[in-house]
Each structure stands twice: as structure tokens, then as C-alpha cells.
Amino acid sequence: MSGKVVWFTALFPYVVLGVLFIRGITLPGAEMGIDYYLRPNVEMLKKPSVWQDAATQVFFSLGPGFGVLMAYSSYNNFNNNVYVDALITSAINCGTSFLSGFVIFSVLGYMSCKSGKPIDAVAQEGPGLVFVVYPEALATMPWAPGWSVLFFLMLMTLGLDSSFGGSEAIITALSDEFPLIKRNREIFIACLFSFYMLIGFFMCTNGGILIMEWLIVYGTTWGLLIAVFCEAMVIAYIYGIKQFVRDLKEMLGFEPGIYWRICWTLLAPAFLLMMILSSFIHYQPLTYQDYKFSPLANIVGIFFALSAASAIPIVGLYKFYNAKGSTVREVSNNLLLVLV
């Protein structure tokens, strides 16, 4: 049953996106918004925040670092062609993002034409664009209730689909680690989604948009970047890129080319390390429009962002110390003696 639901929640947004795209490009002023969208601004590439936002977008859309991809891949057959799956997924994700830009900016051009304001003044960053600007534009169109229902139904299905993926990562990881949860899977899922519901109540308050902005910024910055960087380093230099390539050859029947090896060993770790250092160096206290978050909120956010990454050394040391084999115990005991 859940598989059938996912088919709907995954495909229905594309239907609505196509309808909104056709409607958007036929609106007066849409060409101004599309021109603004497609006109490159090379100067923006000099800003570190742009690269950080791009990395955050990739994390949200493709899901590296969240555990979703590993949870899904754990259900694959051993010889499943993950190479083709990765290429198709990345291409569809890129195409969807590009199409969504037309849907958004065609309507922004319409709003600019209708209000007489430049597009810069009409557009908003973050959730305000989706929950304020776009609904305002829909309200001025003929058959406004119908367009609004379609738009928010699309948002709801997108949210459900994302929630399914994120929840599956949590459920799969904890079920594999703790047999008690695996034996009581239904009860655990009920508790997990009840927790989601309780947290969601806070988003419905007057300050809910601020809480969501806080979670978006501090929940997907340093923690995810550090986690993915560590994952790349472990695969390339601890597990070993040669062994990793041999594993892929055993699964796929062929070895990935030199381009992928360079990406795994050099380009990806270097880019992630630069993003981590840049996010620390150019850190700015969080703001949302005219609202400035308190110093306490920023301090708690920093610890919240780093808490996910802290699990890597903590769990790593725990697993290392409790691993079977006298050599591991001797090395760990010697290290403890030196430190003490």
C-alpha cells in the first residue's frame, strides 16, 4: 500500500508543475521574469554564501548525508545497476529544479508587471516565496481558488514524499541497530510520526516561520557538510578507493572510469572541505527578513548543527573499542594509557 502512495506523491507534483508551467509562461510579464531567471550574474559566483546555498540545495534535493540514499539502497539487489540509477536520479533532479525556476520566475514577472515594481522587490528568499509571494500571485488570476488548491496540494504531496524518505532512513537505521525496534516496527513508526506531529505544532504558531528558518539554516549546514566530508574521506582513503572500485566491479560487471575516481578522491573532498571552512569563516548571525535572532538562538543553533557531526567520532571510538579482536583492544588500551 505504501508503495502505491509513493507513486502518487512522487508523480503528482510533476503533473501540477507542468500545469503551472504552461499557465505561468502565458501570463503577461512572464517574459521579464524568465529573462531575469536566465540572465547570468557572474559576480554572484564570488560570494561564498552562493556556493553554500548551492550545496544546501543539493543536500535537500538529492539527499546525501541524510541517510535516505543508503536506506533505499539497502533494499536493492546486489547486482542492481546503481551507476545508471545515480545518473538518472541526478538528471531528473537537475531538470526538475530548472523547470521549477520557470514556474516561479514567470509568476514573479507577472507580479512585477502587475505591481509596477522590479522583480528584486517582488521576490523573497526562503519560505516567504512559496507561502507568501506565490499565493498572492495566484489570488490575482482567474479561477484563483482552483490554482491555489492545485499549488498547495502539490506542496502537501512533496512534503509527504520527502517525509517518507527521511523517515525510512531513520526507521531502517534504528531497526538494523536495535532488534527491539525491528520487532516492534509499527509501534516505533507510530511514535515517530506522533513526534513529527508534536514538532509540527510549533510551526503553526506566529513564530513558526522563524523556527523553520532556524532549522533550515542550522540543520543543513556544518553537520551535513562534515558528515558527507567524513564519508568521502573514509571511502577514498580508509576503506580504499581500489577496494571500493573492486566492489563496484563485482556488483556492476565493470569498473567506473578515471573521472569518477578523481571525483571521489580529490574533487569531492576538496570541495566539501572548502565549503566547511568557508561556512565557518564567513559565518553571520541568523536573520530572517528584518528579524534578527538572539545570540542565544545562534549559539544553540551552532551546537545543534555540530551535534550530528559529533556522533561520528563518538560512535567510531565506541565501535573501535568494542570491536572483536585482541589487537584492537590492545591498541585502544595503549592509546588510553598514553592519554591518561
DSSP codes, 156-194: HHHHHHHHHHHHHHHHHHHHHH-HHHHHTHHHHHHHHHH
Tell whether 290 is covered by a domain: no
Tell whether 123 is covered by a domain: yes
Tell whether 13 is covered by a domain: yes
Number of folded domains in the chain?
1
pLDDT tens digits, the chain, 340 residues: what are they? 456 677 777 788 888 888 888 988 888 888 998 998 888 888 888 887 788 778 777 877 787 878 888 888 888 888 888 889 889 988 998 898 898 889 888 888 888 888 788 887 777 666 667 777 778 778 887 888 888 888 888 888 888 877 887 888 888 888 888 889 888 888 999 999 899 889 888 888 888 888 888 888 887 778 888 888 998 998 888 888 989 999 999 998 888 889 999 999 999 999 889 888 888 888 888 888 788 899 999 999 988 888 888 888 888 888 777 766 655 555 555 455 444 4
Q: Is residue 61 part of an annotated ligand binding site?
A: yes
Tell whether 141 is covered by a domain: yes
Q: Is residue 158 part of an annotated ligand binding site?
A: yes
For residue 276 the three cell numbers come to 566547511
Tell whether 279 is covered by a domain: no
Tell whether 49 is covered by a domain: yes
Helix axes 48-62, 268-281, angle to 10 degrees: 120
How many CB atoms lie under 10 A from the CB of residue 9? 18
Q: Answer for the pair 277, 48: CB distance below 8 angstroms, yes or no.
A: no
Which residue range is the domain that position 86 belongs to?
1-177
Tell whether 246 is covered by a domain: no
Q: Is residue 161 part of an annotated ligand binding site?
A: yes
Entry pTM: 0.79
| Amino acid 332: pLDDT | 55
Tell whether 230 is covered by a domain: no
